[in-house]
Chain A
Amino acid sequence: MSIIERPADIARHGALGTSPPRPDGIEKVQGTFEFSSDISADGCLWGATLRSPHPHARIVAIDPAGAWQIDGVHAVITADDVPGQMNYGLISQDQPVFASDVVRYVGEPVAAVAADHPETCRRALAALAVEYEVLDPLLDAEAAIAGDHPPIHPDGNVIRHQRIIHGDPDVTGAVVVEGTYEIGMQDQAFLGLEAALAIPDPGAKGVELHIATQWLHEDRTQIAACLGLPEDAVRLVLGGVGGAFGAREDISLQVHTCLLALRLGRPVRMAYNRAESFIGHVHRHPATIWMRHHATSDGEIVKIESKTVLDGGAYASTSSAVLVNAITLAQGPYRCPNAVVDGWAVRTNHLPCGAMRGFGAVQACFAYESQMDKLAAACGIDPVDIRVLNAMRTGDTLITGQPVLNVAPVEECIRETAALPLPDEPVGGAPMPDGSADVMKLPGGAGRTADAGDIVRGIGWGVSIKNLMYSEAFDDYSTARCRFTDGVVTLKFATAEVGQGFVTLAPQIARTVLGVDDVRLDRIDTQIGSSGSTSASRQTWMSGGAVNAACLAVRSKIFDHVAEENGFDPAALTIDGTDIVDSVSGWRGDVAEACAGATFDETAEYHHAPTTELDENGQGSPHTAFAFVAHRAVVDVDPELGLVKVVQIATAQDVGRALNPLSVIGQIEGGIAQGLGLAVMEEIIQIDGVIRNGNFTDYLLPTFLDMPPVVATLIEQPDPYAPLGAKGVGEPPCISSTPAVVAAIRDALQQAGIDRPLDRVPVRPGDICL
């Protein structure tokens, strides 16, 4: 596999290793970028969804008559109107397009309407009469495991059970620490709400869907099956995506929009508002993780035992894959020779859960990092030292028996993080002219709750491992096409740009490989092979690999062409900046001029090395690659009111190679904000199966006053398995930042003489002070 060298020539602006501006940056900043919610078409109608008010109920009857009486209503559809497969799903197809017999969560779609205006839609939904017979909801994950509740779905209440037995299950350690940890349900909270526009073909023979999604081709497969159409009759075009974080991996309004458009033979658009978005997409799995570490008295890990329970909510989504991450990464970035690990993903009548940035690794990390601090305390070792002592290295084996072949600079991540400067400002910031602290810099911020004397500062650590790409024998690939004509390169791919910056990176690759400046991007749609999902930190590796391969194929055509025209040996040609150079004769010429009049057009697929499934003891090589990161948090705590202010996060991240350093920093800062949110405020609260805070008044996201400065170091050790030497960088920042913040709060409390377990995130003020 080729690693593009890093000679001086690529310092050329816009090539790999530099940070050119995003092609869509100015439009986004100026507010002119077309997000999918902005897309419309002539004669377009609006669609809207009727949803279940009950967590579990039988549908006795649906009477649409009331809706039909409203002027402007064009269609009312229910499960009876689904021409194809009734269910969809990413791994197992267990989720109905519309509930037909039973509803399984509050917010489950029951019917949809199309009308001339969103307000008409609203009235039509209110006029639809659905008679329910309320059923006993299953809201306790443990009850689902125990089998205490009748199945709420034909597939049963357990989505997946998997154990891992590794090494000697009976060995014990001189030091044993254990705990039970809880992780709340986090929302992806992207700002660009779900929206789509479906334009039917004449005669309803096909449909074009403009959609904000993470994976066009997988959407197409599921949509076509439900519409009962061949896949090539369903064409998807990426609408402008305002963030994703996993929440756009599953089907939400795609099938409904297409059904309405095909039914009416008119374009139909649908758009969720914030409240509907909260119930209209999957969330991060709430988890309960019991964990016990055995170690030598010196602190070397001997064995881990754990039991992980993920509440998957009503439908399977990606729960089984999330579970595999949560249990196979339970050892963290540490050597661990023996393990007895058990994991369950169960079905309940809560909101469905699936992908969210970190995908199972987040839940495991809060548990194992809390454990590492307990272990350090039990052994009388510094939290940094215990992590360095156990740090995984290349060639070490996971508890699945899989060797870690990638570069594994865990120790460097920890040491480089420790070397970063601590904040130089005291509690409350530099004193104001009158000597007082700046209240905005104290916990409680604008609420003016504290004075500097009320505050204690703590420091905490988090280190993590994340698998990159898809796992468990999935043949994950990406496709890209490179067309070179008259010195202009046009790239085509189906890679969903969700804000991560592939639209910046892909031209950087082409500029570097082909020595051109002018790189254009074709529309992102299904008129080319799949690029796989923009998730699992995989697109730089996978689609970057595909674009690289397509560009290399074109480059070899260019070399053949130039060699033939000039009588060179193609093997002696190289690209240097924007020139082709013949290393034999010393000839050099501008790439564009040397190829004037010629066109080369190549399409390439990139596949990563195959992985395997887990056997019944959880042994196998399920993962493709791994990345690592360390976080150190400094947090000011008001022990009496339980309020916190994160003062600084320091991090050193294993990035392989920073192809676009500014993008990497963006991922690091954004991921840390999300990790901080989970640590201290972000949680969807459901009471009796009903969401209580599905709005931004009560689902709190960090503001500028909550998000501290981030000091970051990139650990650049190009990975020999990565096509460009670069590892995925999107997920790691949000994984161990959460436990680092919580550890810092514990540390501050200990300094104040208070011992609190803080074994649940988000940490609430009462957890600290009551």
Chain B
Amino acid sequence: MLAEHGEATLLAGGTDAMVEINDGHRRPAGPVLAVNRIPDLRSWRHDPASGTVTIGACVTYTELMDPSVAALIPALAEASRTVGSPQIRNAGTLGGNLGTCSPAGDGLPVLAALDATVTLASVRGTRSLPVLDFMVGVKRTAIEPGELITEVTLPVVDGWQGYAKVGVRNAMVIAIASACVVLDRAARTVRVALGSVGPTILRCPEAEADLSERIDWASMAVAAPDLARFATLVSAASRPITDHRSSAEYRRHAVGVLARRLAQRALTVDPAGATR
């Protein structure tokens, strides 16, 4: 059907699409295809052999908060918990978050930090690409006409991971800055992805490399000054704008604090420790 109607609008939970339609920002030119009852898109699976989890595009946030998912990808469960209200989490899907590709999408920093792979399908076949290549710009993706997001594949990582987001109210709020931090003990690397501080989700290679070096991986400890430096490097990696939601200055500050606090939750911090 999608092949026949290249101009079709895909609808999953509708929590972005219907808002845009009701506000008159989008008028579906052709048919609207509801994809969220396609069984293959509604499930997720753990593949222990490859050490991955694969999540169907139409899996909802409520489902992603389930302890079974949380045990494997805790940061995704945390991010899902920060989304909207129970009603939105029951309807909204990870595929829809990718389809919209807002820099404030709460699922996206987790996918970016974990180097997830997005799988797209069309009558021409399927293709997979890294999520960082999938997200092209503000609300712009690599999806081509006639293509559908089918699933997302993420690695199960040994080590702490977490997500945090700043909004100007204590729930039901769009992120004005967010961060996901993943500590990969096997690879001895830190990975950081930031939301709402750039045209799309940003990784922080310099901050990641720096902190990876400075953590004592055996004891999972870090010196306080090294953590402070991490915050500074994360802030420096952000490219925020000022808009009606927040100032660029605040966003830059906040992502640094968030990344530092997340790392702090994973590590023992030695306040007087010498930097490594």
Contact = CB atoms under 8 A, between A and B. Distances in A.
Q: Say if A and B assemble together.
A: yes
Interface of A: 122, 273, 275, 440, 443-451, 454, 640-643, 645, 680-681, 685, 687, 692-693, 695, 697-698, 700, 702-706, 764-766, 769-770
Interface string B23-49: 110000000000000000000000000
Interface in B241-261: 243-247, 249-250, 253-254, 257-258, 261
Interface residues of B, number: 36
Contact of A451 (B165, B243, B265): B265
Given A447-B178, A448-B164, A643-B166, 18 more contacts: A273-B22, A440-B170, A444-B164, A444-B170, A447-B82, A447-B164, A451-B265, A641-B257, A685-B244, A698-B174, A700-B168, A703-B171, A705-B170, A706-B169, A706-B170, A706-B171, A765-B168, A766-B253
A738 B129 CA distance: 51
A766 B164 contact: no
A643 B173 CA distance: 13
20 contacts: A273-B22, A445-B170, A447-B167, A641-B257, A641-B258, A680-B168, A692-B243, A702-B169, A703-B171, A703-B172, A704-B171, A706-B170, A706-B171, A764-B168, A765-B166, A765-B246, A765-B250, A766-B247, A770-B250, A770-B253
Contacts of B247: 766
Q: Sorted from nearest, which 4 A-B pairs have the closest CB atoms?
A: A445-B170, A692-B244, A766-B250, A705-B170
Interface of B: 19, 22-24, 78, 81-82, 162-175, 178, 243-247, 249-250, 253-254, 257-258, 261, 264-265
A766 B246 contact: yes
Contacts of A702: 169
A697 B245 CA distance: 10
B261 A450 contact: yes
A681 B168 contact: yes
B165 A448 contact: yes
Nearest to B19: A697
Contacts of B171: 440, 445-446, 703-706
Contacts of B169: 445, 681, 700, 702-703, 705-706
A642 B81 contact: no
B250 A454 contact: no
Contacts of B261: 449-451, 454
A122 B175 CA distance: 32
Chain A interface main SS type: loop
Contact of A448 (B82, B243, B257, B264): B82
Contacts of A446: 81-82, 170-172
Contacts of B82: 446-448
Nearest to B84: A446
From B162, B245, B249, residue with most partner A Cβ within 10 Å? B245
Contacts of A698: 174, 244-245
A301 to B, nearest CB: 35
B237 to A, nearest CB: 18
A770 B175 CA distance: 18
Nearest to B265: A451
Contacts of A705: 169-171
Given A451-B261, A698-B244, A765-B254, A645 B162 contact: no
B165 A449 contact: yes
Contacts of B178: 447
Contacts of A764: 168, 246, 250
Given A447-B164, A451-B261, A641-B254, A122 B24 contact: yes
B267 to A, nearest CB: 13
Contacts, number: 99
Contacts of B246: 764-766
A685 B244 CA distance: 7
Nearest to A273: B22
Given A448-B82, A766-B250, A770-B253, A641 B166 contact: yes
Interface centre among B169, B244, B247, B265 (most CB of A within 10 A): B169
Nearest to B172: A703
A363 B250 CA distance: 27
Contacts of B173: 447, 700
A642 B251 CA distance: 11
A440 B82 CA distance: 11
A641 B246 CA distance: 13
Contact of A447 (B23, B165, B243, B253): B165
Contacts of B244: 685, 687, 692-693, 698
A450 B81 CA distance: 15
Contacts of A447: 82, 164-167, 170, 173, 175, 178
A158 B82 CA distance: 47
B64 to A, nearest CB: 15
Nearest to A696: B172
Contact of B23 (A275, A451, A704, A706): A275
A687 to B, nearest CB: 7
Contacts of A448: 78, 81-82, 162-165
Contact of A766 (B78, B172, B249, B258): B249
Contact of B250 (A273, A440, A642, A645): A642
A704 B170 CA distance: 9
A188 B114 CA distance: 43
Nearest to B260: A640
Contacts of A693: 244-245
A449 B265 CA distance: 11
A702 B173 CA distance: 11
Contacts of B24: 122
A275, A444, A695 — most chain B CB neighbours (10 Å): A444
Contacts of B245: 693, 698
A530 B190 CA distance: 71
B247 to A, nearest CB: 6
By CB atoms of chain B within 10 A, which of A275, A765, A766 has the most? A765
B240 to A, nearest CB: 12
Contacts of A700: 168-169, 173
A449 B23 contact: no
A645 B171 CA distance: 11
Nearest to A765: B250
A680 to B, nearest CB: 8
A642 B250 CA distance: 9
B198 to A, nearest CB: 19
Most buried by B among A275, A640, A687: A640
Contacts of A769: 250, 253
B132 to A, nearest CB: 24
Contacts of A641: 166, 254, 257-258
A769 B257 CA distance: 11
Contacts of A440: 170-171
Contacts of A443: 170
Nearest to A693: B244
Contacts of A692: 243-244
Contacts of B81: 446, 448
A448 B181 CA distance: 13
B1 to A, nearest CB: 25
Contacts of B78: 448
A770 to B, nearest CB: 6
Contact of A645 (B163, B165, B170, B257): B170
Determine which residue in A449, A702, A703 has the highest number of CB atoms from chain B within 10 A of its CB, and name it.
A449
A769 B244 CA distance: 18
Nearest to B243: A692
A351 to B, nearest CB: 15
